[in-house]
Chain A
Amino acid sequence: MTTINFDSELRRAGAHSTRGWRRLTFLAQRYLLGTVGLVIMVLFVWMAISADLIARYDPLSVDSAQRLAAPSAAHWMGTDSFGRDVWSRIVHGARISLAVGIGATALGSTLGVIVGLVSGYLSGWVDLLFQRITDILQALPLLVLALVMTAALGPSLPNVIIAIAIPLIPTVARVIRANTLALRELPFVEAAKSIGMSETRIALRHVLPNTLAPLIVLATAQLGSTILTEASLSFLGLGIPEPYPSWGRMLSESAAEYVRTAPWLVIFPGVAISLAVFGTNLFGDALRDILDPRQRG
């Protein structure tokens, strides 16, 4: 059973007190990498939320006098071919990346949970049908399916979120289904049934909360890959359209023209993508260690 129990976890790891600040610092030490990941993630979220305050210029404002300026005190990361400030665009780009990352992961997970719960709980032909659908979705690589879907839906923020969310469904659905199947056999569910609880209620009140831990682990792991997929889509010209400063598209434009003459246009957006994904990966790894001790290495 995978329930969240920090206290026992902490004691096992040798902590003397499980309260307050000490508990936090202990956790931070025990999961140093995860903490670093969390800090990176928090920084990016903070960047996205307060983009208007952090950005030093309007990310869309064109300045003909400041074209392709190298990084300087005025423009920390230089400017692009329109004279737009790269730092400001990266800061605002965090919004796009996070919107897609969180939006697609949340949508994909929600749909995956529904499919998984229904499939695992109802079994029978519904299960069979859902299973085949997940098979189908799983037979295509994430980027291929997302490419075809964005081409079909057209390039816009909501469409990109949908296109990336759909391919996430099968993994989530599989895990939830397996968990549900296992849970269904457990005594407390049997007990709930015997006292006349409705199936839906059992599913929502008892089964769902108990599958939360693996779900969180999975969602964090997927957050990174959704950010990467958005970047790839935009790089290929099928993602978020102008004027939104998407990191992937910033790269695709500079890659076409400025690999040599303005390397900062290639370096900084790439660093932003890598760092954001690295943060979520570090955090996701630590989270898996904590929530899913069986997997611990």
Chain B
Amino acid sequence: MRSVHALAAAALLLLPAYDLASAGEPKQGGILRVYHRDSPGSASIHEGATYSINIPFMPVFNNLVIFDQHIAQNSQDTIRPELAESWAWSSDNKKLTFKLRQGVKWHDGKPFTSADVKCTFDMLMGKSQQKFRQNPRKSWYDQVSDVTVNGDYEASFELKRPQPALISLLASGYTPVYPCHVSPAEMRTKPIGTGPFKFVEFKANESIKLTKNPDYFKKGLPHLDGIEFTIIPNRSTAILGFVSGKFDMTFPTEVSIPLLKEVKSQAPNAVCVVEPINVSTNIIVNSSSPPFDNIDIRRALALALDRKAFVQILFEGQADIGGTMLPAPGGLWAMPKEMLESIPGYGPDINANREEARKLMQKAGYGPDKRLAVKVSTRNIPVYRDPAVILIDQIKSIYIDAELDVVDTAQWFPKVARKDYTLGLNLTGNAVDDPDQSFYENYSCGSERNYTNYCNKEIEKLFDQQSAETDVAKRKKLVWEIDKKLQEDVARPIIFHARQGSCWQPYVKGITIMVNSSYNGYRYEDVWMDK
């Protein structure tokens, strides 16, 4: 299942992570020291949409169900019980019922019951009195009509139509169960969970501290006494801290390829893996105003992309090229290679593609003497800015002179929402490798995150069709067709899917980095240190 593109050396380094059995009995104790890449805005996972929040706070919570923390590829087959002991679909596939675990206590000693489940999901659906400040994943529950309880230890999700993917969404690190009796404001500053670790303190720009929950419902867990995150935004400093042994682990999926080389030369014993993070870098095209209202110019743009060059420059070759869905082998829903290469712009002959692009541009009235001037808007963050610089350089070849327009974080989404851009460089993260999450959020008419306002009623029907399909093989075929069509429409050209490295010291055991999501694998209840 692992990425076959990974270097042989990296593959060798991977072995210890799976070597749980031979590593012997887990040792108890120790504080896991990890650096954190930035200071998260709050401690409330439901109110965030970045793994800067998931990673430090996932250990505080439990879900109803969770993806197996030691199988790198998340899928419906790897979903395990957590606060729910078991679950079952009704015969019409419109009701999902969970039997809940008894005797679980919140960190403040109150008992966990089905009411907490109802509270959490009512709040996520916007139905409760108490409101989140922001609720980025409300649309995940669009098909849920109600959450009902039956006694203290049973909860059911009633659906408007079958949606087999719901269980995957519930198994994400993004979907912890919150306590009823704690307000959303308190959850942002002093989160209370049922998880293996209790929240101790969060000092902005400085540190986040968690300590062992001695009353954790899984007996004998966690192994660690605590986890400490030190916030170090400068990557070079952070890596040096890791190399010199000040940290047991890097921030997961944050080590860039050049820095990874440095780690390998400085700390040859460190265990490092490079995995897809299921975040795609893409171009948002404003097709509602000139010049990109012209489909020829949009097509020319798609043809001009040299995706391999992006991957070469930014990842030294270690990133994946594909459509909307995460490419194989990490991704479950990627279309076959032949199908991908039949999409305009994905073919291997870049020069031929660009020749065709120039013809399209000439047809639209541009040429070497009449170049098109545009702005490429993006955020003032290196992961956005860096690919934008390359994009600008590449589209020079098709008579487009682009200027970089760097937008402050506070103004980015308002600007995009106003359609105040021509071309934009954007990142789209997918917490769960499932088409329901990705298609509805980014391409359905009227979705808040559909920045380009791409709206195609026919495709929309296909979205619903694949979503309700319970036969996985049939669903895959549908998904491929949709993905291909989205690329051909140049709705939001996907440039690449990033990969990032994670490293830990050889004595850290029990860590698995997921290959198709960077949001779900941080419960850390059975992580331990052999020292």
Is B23 at the interface (CB under 8 A from chain A)?
Answer: no
On chain B, the residues within 8 Å of A278 by CB distance are none
* A67 and B313 form a contact (CB under 8 A): yes
Which residues in chain B, 370-400, are within 8 Å of chain A measured between CB atoms? 380, 382, 385-386, 388-390, 392-393
On chain B, the residues within 8 Å of A260 by CB distance are 236, 240, 262
* B382 and A243 form a contact (CB under 8 A): no
When A62-B313, A62-B390, A62-B393 are in contact, do A261 and B234 touch as well, CB less than 8 Å?
no
Interface hit among B179-187, B402-410, B474-482, B497-505: B402-410
On chain B, the residues within 8 Å of A243 by CB distance are 389, 392, 403-404
Is B261 at the interface (CB under 8 A from chain A)?
Answer: yes
When A243-B392, A261-B261 are in contact, do A155 and B404 touch as well, CB less than 8 Å?
no
Distance of A65 from chain B, by nearest CB (Å) = 8
Who on chain A is nearest to B411 by CB? A154
Who on chain A is nearest to B308 by CB? A64
Which residues in chain A, 33-80, are within 8 Å of chain B measured between CB atoms? 60-62, 64, 67-68
Interface size class for chain A?
20 to 34
B244-262 near A? 1/0 per residue, CB < 8 Å: 0000000000001011011
On chain A, the residues within 8 Å of B258 by CB distance are 68, 81, 257-258, 261
* B389 and A64 form a contact (CB under 8 A): no
* B408 and A82 form a contact (CB under 8 A): no
On chain B, the residues within 8 Å of A237 by CB distance are 380
Is A9 at the interface (CB under 8 A from chain B)?
Answer: no
Distance of B199 from chain A, by nearest CB (Å) = 30
Residue among A68, A82, A154 making CB contact with B390, cutoff 8 Å: A82
* B313 and A64 form a contact (CB under 8 A): yes
In the assembled complex, the Cα of A137 lies from the Cα of B152 at a distance in Å of 64
In the assembled complex, the Cα of A81 lies from the Cα of B258 at a distance in Å of 9
When A81-B258, A260-B262, A261-B258 are in contact, do A155 and B408 touch as well, CB less than 8 Å?
yes
In the assembled complex, the Cα of A67 lies from the Cα of B317 at a distance in Å of 13
On chain B, the residues within 8 Å of A241 by CB distance are 380, 404, 406
* B385 and A242 form a contact (CB under 8 A): yes
When A82-B313, A243-B404 are in contact, do A257 and B259 touch as well, CB less than 8 Å?
yes
Is A191 at the interface (CB under 8 A from chain B)?
Answer: no
Interface centre among A243, A255, A258 (most CB of B within 10 A): A243
Is B312 at the interface (CB under 8 A from chain A)?
Answer: yes
On chain A, the residues within 8 Å of B408 by CB distance are 154-155
In the assembled complex, the Cα of A253 lies from the Cα of B389 at a distance in Å of 14
A245-269 near B? 1/0 per residue, CB < 8 Å: 0000000010111111100000000
Distance of B345 from chain A, by nearest CB (Å) = 18
Distance of A151 from chain B, by nearest CB (Å) = 9
* B312 and A256 form a contact (CB under 8 A): no
Distance of B464 from chain A, by nearest CB (Å) = 42
Who on chain B is nearest to A244 by CB? B404
Is A279 at the interface (CB under 8 A from chain B)?
Answer: no
* B236 and A259 form a contact (CB under 8 A): yes
* A242 and B312 form a contact (CB under 8 A): no
* A255 and B406 form a contact (CB under 8 A): no
Distance of B396 from chain A, by nearest CB (Å) = 9
Is A224 at the interface (CB under 8 A from chain B)?
Answer: no
Who on chain A is nearest to B306 by CB? A64
Who on chain A is nearest to B408 by CB? A154
Is B188 at the interface (CB under 8 A from chain A)?
Answer: no
Distance of A240 from chain B, by nearest CB (Å) = 10
In the assembled complex, the Cα of A64 lies from the Cα of B403 at a distance in Å of 20
Which residues in chain A, 179-231, are within 8 Å of chain B measured between CB atoms? none
On chain B, the residues within 8 Å of A255 by CB distance are 234, 236
On chain B, the residues within 8 Å of A61 by CB distance are 393
Is A93 at the interface (CB under 8 A from chain B)?
Answer: no
In the assembled complex, the Cα of A259 lies from the Cα of B380 at a distance in Å of 21
* A257 and B256 form a contact (CB under 8 A): yes
In the assembled complex, the Cα of A64 lies from the Cα of B261 at a distance in Å of 18
In the assembled complex, the Cα of A68 lies from the Cα of B411 at a distance in Å of 32
In the assembled complex, the Cα of A237 lies from the Cα of B388 at a distance in Å of 17
On chain A, the residues within 8 Å of B390 by CB distance are 62, 82
Distance of A149 from chain B, by nearest CB (Å) = 14
In the assembled complex, the Cα of A259 lies from the Cα of B240 at a distance in Å of 10
B462-504 near A? 1/0 per residue, CB < 8 Å: 0000000000000000000000000000000000000000000
* B236 and A257 form a contact (CB under 8 A): yes
* B313 and A242 form a contact (CB under 8 A): no
On chain A, the residues within 8 Å of B392 by CB distance are 60, 243
* A257 and B235 form a contact (CB under 8 A): yes
Is B309 at the interface (CB under 8 A from chain A)?
Answer: yes
Distance of A27 from chain B, by nearest CB (Å) = 45
On chain B, the residues within 8 Å of A81 by CB distance are 258, 313, 386
Is A167 at the interface (CB under 8 A from chain B)?
Answer: no
B195-234 near A? 1/0 per residue, CB < 8 Å: 0000000000000000000000000000000000000001
In the assembled complex, the Cα of A82 lies from the Cα of B313 at a distance in Å of 6
In the assembled complex, the Cα of A259 lies from the Cα of B259 at a distance in Å of 10
On chain B, the residues within 8 Å of A261 by CB distance are 258-259, 261-262
When A64-B312, A83-B313, A243-B404 are in contact, do A256 and B386 touch as well, CB less than 8 Å?
no
On chain A, the residues within 8 Å of B312 by CB distance are 64
In the assembled complex, the Cα of A259 lies from the Cα of B406 at a distance in Å of 25
Who on chain A is nearest to B258 by CB? A261
In the assembled complex, the Cα of A255 lies from the Cα of B313 at a distance in Å of 19
In the assembled complex, the Cα of A237 lies from the Cα of B406 at a distance in Å of 11
* B380 and A155 form a contact (CB under 8 A): yes
In the assembled complex, the Cα of A60 lies from the Cα of B401 at a distance in Å of 12
Distance of B8 from chain A, by nearest CB (Å) = 23
A76-105 near B? 1/0 per residue, CB < 8 Å: 000001110000000000000000000000
On chain B, the residues within 8 Å of A256 by CB distance are 234-236, 382
Which residues in chain B, 299-314, are within 8 Å of chain A measured between CB atoms? 309, 312-313
Who on chain A is nearest to B378 by CB? A242
In the assembled complex, the Cα of A242 lies from the Cα of B385 at a distance in Å of 8
Interface centre among B234, B240, B259, B313 (most CB of A within 10 A): B313
In the assembled complex, the Cα of A83 lies from the Cα of B404 at a distance in Å of 18
Distance of B510 from chain A, by nearest CB (Å) = 30
In the assembled complex, the Cα of A64 lies from the Cα of B313 at a distance in Å of 5
On chain B, the residues within 8 Å of A257 by CB distance are 235-236, 256, 258-259
Who on chain A is nearest to B376 by CB? A243
Interface centre among A64, A68, A81, A258 (most CB of B within 10 A): A64
Who on chain A is nearest to B396 by CB? A61
* A242 and B261 form a contact (CB under 8 A): no
Query: Can you report 23 A-B residue pairs in the complex whose CB atoms are below 8 A from each other?
Result: A60-B389, A62-B390, A64-B312, A67-B313, A81-B258, A82-B386, A82-B390, A83-B313, A155-B380, A155-B406, A241-B380, A242-B388, A243-B389, A243-B392, A243-B404, A256-B234, A256-B236, A257-B256, A259-B236, A260-B236, A260-B240, A260-B262, A261-B262
Pairs of residues from A and B, 8 with the lowest C-beta to C-beta distance, nearest first:
A241-B406, A62-B393, A64-B313, A259-B236, A64-B312, A243-B404, A64-B309, A242-B404
For the complex with contacts A257-B256, A257-B258, 18 further pairs of A-B residues with Cβ separation under 8 Å are: A60-B389, A61-B393, A62-B390, A81-B258, A81-B386, A155-B408, A237-B380, A241-B380, A241-B404, A242-B406, A243-B392, A253-B382, A258-B236, A259-B240, A260-B236, A260-B262, A261-B258, A261-B262
